[in-house]
A and B are shown apart, each in its own frame.
Chain A
Amino acid sequence: MFGMTYTSLISWLLLGTVVFAADSLEYNRDVRPILAENCFACHGFDKAKREAGLRLDTMEGAVEKLDSGQVAIQPGKPEESELILRILATDDSVMPPHETGKSLTEGQKDVLRKWVSQGAQYDKHWAFIAPQKTAIPESNLAKANSTTNPIDSFVLAKLEAENLLPSAPADPITLIRRLNLDLIGLPPSVSEVDDFVLAFQHDPESARSQLVDRLLRSPNYGERWGRWWLDQARYADSNGYSVDAPRQIWKYRDWVIDALNRDLPFDQFTIEQLAGDLLPGATESQQVATGFHRNTQINQEGGIDPEQFRIDSVFDRVATTGTVWLGLTIGCAQCHDHKFDPIEQKEYYRLFAFFNNQDEPQLTIHKPEVNAPRLISEQKELEATSADIVRQATDAIALWEQSLTEEQTKSFSKEIQQLLSGDKSKRNAGQMKSLYAVGPGVTNEQFLTIQNRLKEIGSLLAEGVSTMVMKERATPRKTSVFIQGDFTRPADEVTCGTPAILPPLATGTGNLNRLDLAKWIVAPNNPLTARVIVNRVWQHYFGRGLVESENDFGLQGTSPTHPELLDWLAVHFVEQGWSLKELHRLIVHSKTYQQQSVERAELTEKDRGNYWLARQRRLRLEGEIVRDVELAACGLLSSKIGGPPVFPPIPDGVMSQGQVKREWKVSKGEDRYRRGLYTFVYRATPPPSLNVFDAPDGYSTCTRRPRSNTPLQALTLMNDASFFEFAGALEKIIQTEGLDFAFRRCVSRPPTQEELEILRSLDSLSAARALLNLDETVTRE
């Protein structure tokens, strides 16, 4: 259909440019990427950097008569369009200029020339137009595969157009392992595999449904997908910068796990995290949720200007909100108008204003059975009564004091002795109480009961756990545009507002605040949020989003490979009440998801990067899941969910790498064997065995983890004391249950005869170590 050559296909896919032999060009698909890559930096949205007064990102700008008297684009007349003359120039007037290091290919020049001759039609950037469900496409492939899942219809239609065939479905063992790892981040047990295989032979459809239902109900689902969200929330357990002191904010982590487990609709999930404190009658849980934006660093270095770093954390909040929900590089407009996307610097500071108006307190959380407000008022009452009793006993205390023998005096604590020998007229209420408690009070039943109750209340309240939250200030701070993003150079004052390119914010009464912003982000007419989130979930299952630049849906981002599918999913997601679990269910039930991941020779040639999804893809597990899988395989894994972060063993000397040496007291009991997401993370000295597998360090939002493959990973799995300990546990399983069984605990499938022979030639500990080092063990296939 497109008549593309392999080379041009690759260059389009990978470099964001395309060569079409076809006659009809689309601005967003064919032209904009070329202009964005080569022209917009100097002829785009940023007024300050615009050269020769020329703006090429809008039709109005492109056809305007320039100071030089020339016109960049004369629609329909390439030979009179300066743009075309300049890109074809062979002398120094050529565009883009030599010094930019950029140049256009012949194909790209051809596209621009054709586009101008066809009338230079501009379209609004796709991501700023609200998604709409198009008709589900029909194709012979879809018919042949009796497709019912819309995802498959879209993917197969594309495959058919590309003249590619989908891969066969994965075998049931690969499938259960894939589903387990993707949905709960843990491998299936051997008996779960056996049961599934049996059920699958009987009725594949219902076996799959039941498995998916069970996994989505599992509390481990919230752990696995919680970590997905915590990456984006830049969660870690320390303050960052150079001092990097520990902080306590794990209640927020547990909130995320819990919210995902109860499938809190994503719009509500968003509102509570961005503005839970502003909801009417905000619950404790909704306040804890605002920890999302407390995951910024805090600089405790000496000699700093605290305001500078407060502003830095607000910058981070604006950038993170833009990246996580809108898929926009809003942070680029901190110092100047955005060079590629239509976001003015002033608009950036209007967003900034939403986040410039809060205090950053701690909230103490008590167990559900502890009613803290009631206890605190009871405590107050009791203390008052107790004080009354002591006050009325002034004479009794004096009498008691006079009656004391020297021996009796010596039997009291140092503190009491000091009080007794000190100036009587200077005793305060507390000291009088202390004396009464050891003196006349010992026989006062009422006083004693009160003291016991006070002690009880005190210890109940002390059990509370603090967590970092947001709290809106009563009087807003003023917000100004900062020249060059420098907070010492404030310019025009601005108020809260959202970028003009996106639908307007529904204005209520009074001043705008974060709650308005949060509602705007998840408003049904926001063209970005649902697309961005759906894409980021998709990325998890296929190793790449439908939009590859998962954090940039702007003009510089990559175009979606399956735009209609992306839009269909986004609309469907909102229609299903923003239910993430329903989205997961839809994706994992697709045949596209369930395909085999093996490479096929003809695919390697036609679609090396697997953009058209004619197969699944093997994906190395995330750092935390590498740990989880190995712990599960060797039987040591603790099933405890939530709670304070833990300190599994780490190599000596790791904690002295930062400026301040931090203590790492290894956790005892089952806390030694908790899932990776519970490991305490110091930002400046992240746990090496997670870090080496690309776990983010929490300095800034992470919307996609790299998947590196390094010798340091090999050293970790081979020699790290923890992994060696796991091998010891797996060795025992080999000895008691056999090599075959241990093999299945690691990779789910049974070994071949050849594989068994290789392993049998080793002693059992070596066999266990080999199993835990297999590429397959740490990979989702």
Chain B
Amino acid sequence: MANTTFLQQQTRRHFFQQCGIGVGSIALADLMAASMQGSGAETAGNPLAPKPTHFPARAKRVIFMFMAGGPSQLDLFDHKPMLNQLNGQPIPQSYLEGKRFAFMDSSHRINLLGSRRSFQQYGQNGAWVSDLLPHTAKIVDELTFIRTCKTDLFNHAPAKLFMNTGTGQFGRPSMGAWLTYGLGSECEDLPGFVVLQSGPRGPRGGSVLWGSGMLPTTYQGVPLRNQGEPILNLTTPDSISNAQQVQVLDAVRKLNAKRLAETGDEEIATRINAYEMAYRMQSSAPELMDTNQESQETLDLYGIKDPKETSFARNCLLARRLVERGVRFVQLYHTNWDHHGGPTENLEEHLPSISREIDQSGAALVMDLKQRGLLEDTIVIWGGEFGRTPMGEVRESTGRNHHIDAFTMWFAGGGFKPGTIFGETDEFGFGPVDHSVHVRDIHATLLHQLGLNHERLTIRSQGLDFRLTGVQPAKIINEVLA
């Protein structure tokens, strides 16, 4: 660490004293960078420097627990006794007109499927939670449920893109990229946008889900990997000692600084900063991943059995450690929620097991944040790219198809109104009877809580001002905000 400080001091001193470009021009660069926010110009200086919000913010950071594959809201949160009563009967035709579904040709089923789960009401507002999520059930008074979430796309990869970028098209910035672009990062030692993954496979769509689109790549999510080094190339090559590494960095800095003085090119200043951050990450990232400092009590709270093994539970703990360190946006992907029925993805066996994987640790994360005073300004989100149909897919075992008209997500902290249940679905849970909440409304609301006006957070590309919420009107869901 002493070396780090040395490097920082040397670099800064060098900038201002030896490099022949005065404080004035650096300040001008910063000024330009700040005034360019949202106008799409290339920024000079540190593009991740904290930036002012459009108005006072209720939240500073976000943890998004992304349940990849589309969890069945009808077996977890949205209790529909009518489904059980009419189990096996076709859903009235009026529900289906004009609708399209995935797997249309092979397994499009119209018969209703009752839930095998038992439901109970919890908390002061009587939130329904099924027997699959006993830990979540205990904290419903901290949560804000929206049961009428709506998306536009019903295949996995496009729908995941839609939830993350507000469009099913490739090449647009993801939510985390927008936030680090709009707000900068409050962490000097780690990237501002971090992605963690658990489950049997990566999420469909891959890196575009945390891409920066037309924003500079500085803003793209950095996936911390679940095996080996958490960040690619974080470790100094085996045969190189720390002293050698520092010597190389020191020489590179000196030589780069000379070139900066000769050319006056501020990109070199950015590069010198980037090397400093890289070196800091070499120690801060392993420190982040080292959960040995956590008490047994904490590990038990999250249900972490082996702290070395990748699991959703461990990622929840890492998420807390990341936001503690000022990381702006943490996204946790957990696969696989795609329960169509069949031998490997059914509601009988696989939904209960994946629910167990996320229940205790997800609830623990909320409570741990609260205990540490972090929940106040951290938004926690739970949800997938879409929900599942009231109609069953009966293969060898039962499942449900992808459904986009009404599904459940929950939010906690960051100025969301705790203990709220918002949006009601019809008797089958097929569509909303009130307050349909579109993905872009969720985006607008999140940005609002973070102090950003979704219509002002823009990037100019191809002559258009792009924004997370797109061109269709989006509304802030004031009813769920405290």
A758 interface hit (Cβ, 8 Å) = yes
Q: Give min CB distance, A131 to chain B, whole Å.
A: 20
Contact between A711 and B274, CB atoms less than 8 A apart? yes
Complex alpha-carbon distance, A326 and B329, angstroms: 38
Known contacts A305-B104, A556-B464: does B256 contact A775 (CB below 8 Å)? yes
- The answer to the question of A287 belonging to the interface, with a C-beta cut-off of 8 Å to chain B, is no
Q: Does A253 contact B (CB under 8 A)?
A: no
* A711 x B275 contact (CB < 8 A): yes
Contact flag A557-B39 (CB < 8 Å), given A303-B102, A758-B251: no
Q: Check A242 for interface membership: any CB of B closer than 8 A.
A: yes
Question: Is A420 an interface residue, CB under 8 A from the partner?
Answer: no
Which of A255-263, A501-509, A712-720 contacts the other chain? A712-720
Is A213 located at the chain interface by the 8 A CB criterion?
no
Closest to B249 in A: A718
> What residue in chain A is nearest B259 (Cβ atoms)?
A776
A711 touching B281 in the complex, CB below 8 Å, given contacts A762-B247, A774-B259: yes
| Interface membership of A754, Cβ < 8 A | yes
B463 located at the interface, meaning its Cβ lies under 8 Å from any Cβ of chain A in the complex? yes
Pick from B231, B265, B463: contact of A618, CB under 8 Å: B265
Q: A341: shortest Cβ distance to chain B, in Å?
A: 9
A488–B100 contact, CB under 8 A? Answer: yes
Q: Which residues of A contact B277 (CB under 8 A)?
A: 711, 714
Q: When the two chains form their complex, are residues A710 and B217 in contact, meaning their CB atoms are under 8 A apart?
A: yes
Give the contacting residue for B263; candidates A549, A618, A707; CB below 8 A. A618
CB distance from B80 to the nearest CB of A (A): 24
When C-beta atoms are compared, the residue in chain A nearest to B29 turns out to be A608
Please tell me if the beta carbons of B247 and A549 are within 8 angstroms of each other in the complex. no
Known: A301-B155, A697-B207. A659 touches B202 (CB 8 A): yes
Give CA–CA (A14, B245) in the complex, Å: 41
Assess whether B268 is in contact with A657, with CB atoms less than 8 Å apart. Answer: no
Does B110 make an interface contact (CB < 8 A)? no
Q: Please determine whether B464 and A762 come into contact, CB atoms closer than 8 angstroms.
A: no
- Complex CA–CA separation, A16 to B388 (angstroms): 47
Task: Check B206–A684 contact: CB distance below 8 A.
Answer: yes
CB <8 Å contact, A14 and B39: yes
Any A CB within 8 A of the CB of B94: no
Give CA–CA (A549, B41) in the complex, Å.
12
Asked if A659 and B201 sit within 8 Å, CB to CB, the answer is: yes
What residues of chain A lie closer than 8 Å to B39, measured between beta carbons?
A: 14-15
- Is the beta-carbon distance between B206 and A659 smaller than 8 angstroms? yes
Residues of chain A with a CB closer than 8 A to B248's CB: 718, 762, 766, 769-770, 773
B148 to chain A, nearest CB (A): 22
- Taking a contact as CB atoms under 8 Å apart, the answer to whether A716 and B232 are in contact is yes
| Proximity bits, A456-485, B CB within 8 Å = 1, else 0 | 000000000000000000000000000000
Name the residue of chain B whose CB is nearest to the CB of A725.
B237
Stretch at the interface among B84-92, B137-145, B218-226, B320-328: B218-226
8 Å CB contacts to B: which residues of A656-672?
A: 656-661
Report the minimal beta-carbon distance from A8 to chain B, rounded to whole angstroms.
15
Contact A604 B203 (CB under 8 A): no
Interface contact B155-A304, CB-CB below 8 Å: yes
Q: Inside 8 A of B245's CB, which chain A residues have their CB?
A: 718
Q: Mask for A697-708, Cβ within 8 A of B = 1, else 0?
A: 101100000111
Q: Give residues of chain B (188-218) contacting chain A, Cβ–Cβ below 8 Å.
A: 191, 197, 201-208, 216-218
Report the bound CA distance from A244 to B251 in whole Å.
42
Q: How far is the CA of A715 from the CA of B248 in the complex (A)?
A: 13
A708 to chain B: which residues have CB within 8 Å?
Answer: 216-218
With known contacts A658-B206, A697-B207, A715–B232 Cβ distance under 8 A: yes
Question: Inside 8 A of A552's CB, which chain B residues have their CB?
Answer: 462-463
Indicate which residue in A332, A556, A654, A699 contacts B208 across the interface (CB closer than 8 Å). Answer: A699
Q: Tell me if A652 and B228 are in contact (CB < 8 A).
A: yes
Is there a chain A Cβ closer than 8 Å to B25's Cβ?
yes
A301 touches B156 (CB 8 A): yes
Indicate if the CB atoms of B281 and A620 lie closer than 8 Å.
no
Q: Are A719 and B263 in contact (CB under 8 A)?
A: no
Which residues of chain A from 745 to 781 have a CB within 8 Å of any chain B CB? 754-755, 758-759, 761-763, 765-767, 769-770, 773-776, 779, 781
Q: How far is the CA of A661 from the CA of B201 in the complex (A)?
A: 8
- Which residue from B204, B274, B464 sits with its C-beta under 8 Å from A710? B274
Q: Which residue of B lies closest to A240 (CB)?
A: B170
The complex places the Cα of A660 from the Cα of B203 at a distance, in Å, of 9
Q: A653-B228, A657-B202 are in contact. Are A713 and B274 (CB under 8 A)?
A: yes
Contact of A719 among B235, B270, B274 (CB under 8 A): B235
B254 and A758 contacting across the interface, CB-CB below 8 Å: yes
A497 at the interface (CB under 8 A from B): no
Count chain A CB atoms within 10 A of each CB in B205, B232, B279, B402 and give the residue with the most.
B232
* CB-based nearest A residue for B208: A699
CA distance A707 to B244 in the complex (A): 29
A709's partner among B41, B270, B453 (CB-CB below 8 A) is B270
Contact A618 B267, CB 8 Å, known A714-B278, A718-B248, A758-B255: yes
A720 and B274 CA atoms in complex are apart in Å by 16
Knowing A697-B208, A715-B234, A719-B234, say if A759 contacts B155 (CB, 8 Å): no
| B106 lies within 8 A of chain A by Cβ | yes
Interface residue B50 (Cβ < 8 Å from any Cβ of A): no
Contacts A557-B463, A699-B171 hold; do A301 and B204 have CB atoms under 8 A apart?
yes
Q: Are A684 and B207 in contact, with the CB atoms below 8 A? A: yes
B435 at the interface (CB under 8 A from A): no
Taking a contact as CB atoms under 8 Å apart, the answer to whether B237 and A719 are in contact is yes
Known: A15-B39, A305-B104, A658-B206. A604 touches B264 (CB 8 A): yes
Residue of B whose beta carbon sits closest to that of A656? B202
A767 to B252 alpha-carbon distance, docked (Å): 9
Which residue of chain A has its CB nearest to the CB of B204? A242
- Bound together, the chains give a CA A718 to CA B246 distance in angstroms of 11
Decide yes or no whether A373 CB sits under 8 A from chain B: no
Q: Does B305 contact A (CB under 8 A)?
A: no
Q: How far is the CB of A339 from chain B (nearest CB, A)?
A: 9
B residues 430-475 near A (Cβ < 8 Å) are: 453, 455-456, 462-464
Task: Give residues 137-189 of A contacting B (CB, 8 Å).
Answer: none
Asked if A754 and B207 make an inter-chain contact with CB atoms under 8 angstroms apart, the answer reads: no
Contacts of A329 in B (CB 8 A): 462-464
Is A286 among interface residues, defined by CB-CB distance under 8 A? no
Residues on the A chain within 8 Å of B275, using CB: 711, 714, 718, 773
B278 in contact with A301 (CB, 8 Å): no
What residues of chain A lie closer than 8 Å to B191, measured between beta carbons?
711-712
Residues of chain B with a CB closer than 8 A to A710's CB: 217-218, 274
A-contacting residues, B263-306, CB 8 Å: 263-265, 267-268, 270-271, 274-275, 277-279, 281-282
Q: Is the CB–CB distance between B155 and A715 below 8 Å?
A: no
A714 to B236 Cα, complex, angstroms: 12
- B171: chain A residues at CB < 8 Å are 699-700
Known contacts A552-B462, A618-B263, A763-B244: does B103 contact A775 (CB below 8 Å)?
A: no
For residue A384, CB closer than 8 A to chain B, the reply is no
Q: Is A651 an interface residue (CB 8 A)?
A: yes
B157 at the A/B interface (Cβ < 8 Å)? yes
Interface bits A484-514 vs B (CB < 8 Å: 1, else 0): 0000100000000000000000000000000
Chain B: which residue is nearest A335 at the CB level?
B471
Nearest CB of B to A675, in Å? 21
Q: Can you identify 6 A-B contacts, CB atoms within 8 angstroms?
A: A241-B205, A712-B231, A770-B251, A773-B252, A774-B252, A781-B263
User: Shortest 8 CB-CB distances between A and B: which pairs?
Assistant: A556-B463, A242-B204, A599-B264, A684-B206, A303-B103, A714-B278, A699-B170, A708-B217
A residues lining the B interface (CB < 8 Å): 14-15, 100-101, 241-242, 244, 299, 301-305, 323, 329, 332, 340, 488, 549, 551-552, 554-558, 597-600, 604, 608, 618, 620, 651-654, 656-661, 683-686, 688, 691-692, 694, 697, 699-700, 706-716, 718-721, 724, 754-755, 758-759, 761-763, 765-767, 769-770, 773-776, 779, 781
A sample of 16 more A-B contacts (CB under 8 A), given A241-B157, A242-B204, A691-B207, is A549-B462, A554-B463, A597-B263, A599-B265, A620-B267, A654-B232, A657-B223, A658-B206, A684-B207, A685-B207, A709-B274, A710-B274, A715-B281, A720-B232, A758-B254, A774-B259
